[in-house]
Chain A
Amino acid sequence: MPRLNSKEDLRALRRKIVGMRDLTMPYITLCSGTACHATGSDAVAAAIQKELEKQGLTEEVGVRRTGCHGFCERGPIIIVYPEEICYLNVTPEDVPEIISKTIKGKEIIERLLYADPNTGERMVHEQDIPFYKYQTRLVFSGNLWVDPANIEDYIALGGYRALAKALQEMTPEEVMEEVKRANLRGRGGGGFPAGRKWETTRDASGEPKYAIVNCDEGDPGAYMDRSIMEGNPHRVLEGLTIAAYAIGATHGFVYVRQEYPLAVSNLAIALEQAKEYGLLGEDILGSGFDFDVKVHRGAGAFISGESSALMNAIEGKVGEPRPKYVHTSEAGIWDKPSNLNNVETLANVPLIIEKGADWFGSIGTEGSKGTKIFSLVGKVNNTGLVEVPMGTTLRDIIYKIGGGIRGGKKFKGVQTGGPSGGIIPEQYLDSPVDFDELTKLGSMMGSGGMIVIDEDTCIVDLARYFVDFLCDESCGKCVPCREGLKRMRDILDAMVAGRGKEGDIELLKEIAVVMKKASLCALGTTAANPALSTIRYFRDEYEAHIKEKRCPALVCKDLISYYIDPEKCIACLKCLKNCPEGAIEGEKKRIHVIDQSKCVKCGICYDVCPPKVGAVKKISGKPVPPSLPEVERAIRKGKKRGGGSD
């Protein structure tokens, strides 16, 4: 492939690629993100290959393995073109049928389509499925089409056009102004305007300047950066190169977590291809602009996602934050001006350059423009990645797109902003989601994790979980964060174990104030948010743990007991056989009883008891009822319960 030397070369190449593609030809795309890998996408791909060979169709049918489509709950996902028929949860066994019926016979296989859980109505196209219907996929759209290992797929979709426009038609100042005017705010957590950040680095003295992508997506429960990097890495590279041009950076880094092996390998392929096509490296698109990018794999430390810590890590040092008297945008890597943006932020940049700040500004709310990708997970029916305009309400996201709460349970709250965020309760479901609204509610946007919790999640236990997570991830450099978190964890540990004391809630709040005021970096200053927001909205649950030694959600092990209701037990032996500790006593036709002294509260009996029977109960805050006398435990035929009681 000869390298591209101008915008015209790029346009000619695009025409050539598009011209060579026959859009009427049958095509199969297969989602191959990490979640789909885990649910067998490789096996499905192999089956497609095998079947096409068997039926002699390898020439007539195209196959493409794309990135994540977002509906991970129902993967692997296949879309058959040109009809755009969408099949979910595809297994290798379904493949021969798809090829003979749908590809050859143009016949739709009903059982592989999405079925509406309420009406049972089947939906043929992806865009008709409620999960997709209410989304606005701008950043994520490429993931449906592009094979991340093939740069030509991205170019065919108009990829690198924005870079060509920036380099050939705009000055660096104009590029920066456009992004500033679009008011693109950082998608990684802080929400700081990207254009202003660029400007600081541009104006800072020192050479070379660095442009960096942050793909150290450490927030538990958020995985949109991973999916963009895996599924459409060129989009990120294009955004990064445009940023570098605006800033005047000649060197760049992509910081990506080692825990994301597929992202690391797809990124490496993309870098090589971009260089080969003259879209990265020296004299990009013949413009005279040079930009060299290296990959730095993160070695597993949540704190390394913080800007100054990340720069330390790139220098090969321990990834601890630096005091921020001087911003990294002025003195970052090796004390040179270094601009750091999140993956999703940069993936928005080509759109802004191509379609303009006015277009971008027409989407979203007053203070938050554009779309945001959320990872909608937890106790919701349709889990996956969801891209919506800023300002969409929580209710629309959770109920319209997410299909509501699993198993008909009651909604309790939604956790946003990861360990720095908070939990938003039901009364705020109609709040529009943007940077400022979430902050007002005591939570934050963060990187876009949205973990839905229902009545079966204990709020105190969840707060303890976040504190424990942060305790583990705190680098220990500053005292308020290191010691404050430990004390908070001690208090919450005691609470969930039934050792909570009066005054604990006030003590938690007091520690939180000090941590907020005196910690070195954002990890410490926001670490108390999960506890504070839950105290604000769910104080009664804290009090139940402290005063009544009761866990209302029936989660905290030390405060609950498992018990078999003799009225309901049918003596089916299921729990007895599955109990790993041999704590259940009984036999056929004899009501089962849990020996509380042996029970480790693993909950297996509760899980395996047939839902129709529902004999295994969890109780909290009251003693376990005494077991039945031996004579009453026999079940006689035709009677629900035998013995002397009837």
Chain B
Amino acid sequence: MVEIDMKMKMQRVDEIIEGYKGEEGVLIQLLLDIQSEFNWIPHGVIARISERLRIPKSHIYRIASFYKAMSLNPVGRHIIQVCLGTACQVRGAPKILDRVEENLKIKEGGTTPDMRFSLKRVNCLGCCAMGPVVVVDGNYHGKITPAMVEDILGKYK
């Protein structure tokens, strides 16, 4: 089962690589596509890209570890982004982040042991008028207070 899964994964990786055939400087775009496909960038995939594009693995790791949109670790089923842009900051976002961390018993950047949630702190999502903002799986929750945190998290099993 795992093997079939892996094979299908690689097939998808190959398709993504094919899509950029003949273009220069595509590594970042390629890795972003992989990230949105699998929610993270598995090590096997990096080896595959290295082989196909003849780019050293070390170079790919450097890119993948530099950019915030890319993750080298598997992430939870639900991704929570707590916005800490300035507008959210002055409207109390740090208290929201504290509350989420205390509720899930993980720190920002972490994933719960049951793989239910991954928690990220982000610097401005560009919806400052609604701050503080928490985004779970792409759903925006605006103008939230610490007391609302538990209910919001409860919606995502």
Chain A residues within CB distance 8 Å of chain B: 34-35, 37-39, 72-73, 217-223, 226, 258-260, 296-297, 299-302, 313-319, 334, 375, 377-379, 383-384, 415, 418, 449, 451, 453, 457, 462, 465-466, 469, 472-473, 475, 578, 580, 600, 602-604, 607-608
Contact = CB atoms under 8 A, between A and B. Distances in A.
Contacts, number: 150
B2 interface: no
Interface in B86-130: 86-87, 89-92, 95, 98-99, 102-103, 122-130
Contacts of B47: none
* 3 A-B pairs closest in CB distance: A38-B140, A300-B68, A72-B129
B66 A377 contact: no
Contacts of B150: 580
A549 B102 CA distance: 26
Contacts of A220: 84-87, 89, 123-124
B145 A607 contact: yes
Q: Mostly helix, strand, loop or mixed at chain A's interface?
A: mixed
A313 B32 CA distance: 13
A52 to B, nearest CB: 27
B87 A377 contact: yes
A221 B103 contact: no
B80 interface: no
A218 to B, nearest CB: 7
Contacts of B22: none
Interface residues of B, number: 45
A451 B98 contact: no
Contact of B126 (A259, A297, A475, A607): A259
Interface of B: 24-29, 31-32, 62-63, 66-70, 84-87, 89-92, 95, 98-99, 102-103, 122-131, 133, 140, 142, 145-147, 150
Contacts of A219: 124
Contacts of A462: 89-90
Nearest to B131: A377
A223 B127 CA distance: 7
B151 to A, nearest CB: 12
A76 to B, nearest CB: 12
A221 B147 CA distance: 24
B142 A39 contact: yes
Contact of B128 (A301, A383, A603): A383
Contacts of A465: 84, 86, 89
Contact of B123 (A296, A334, A473): A473
A226 B126 contact: yes
B16 to A, nearest CB: 14
Nearest to A382: B129
B95 A316 contact: no
A222 B127 CA distance: 9
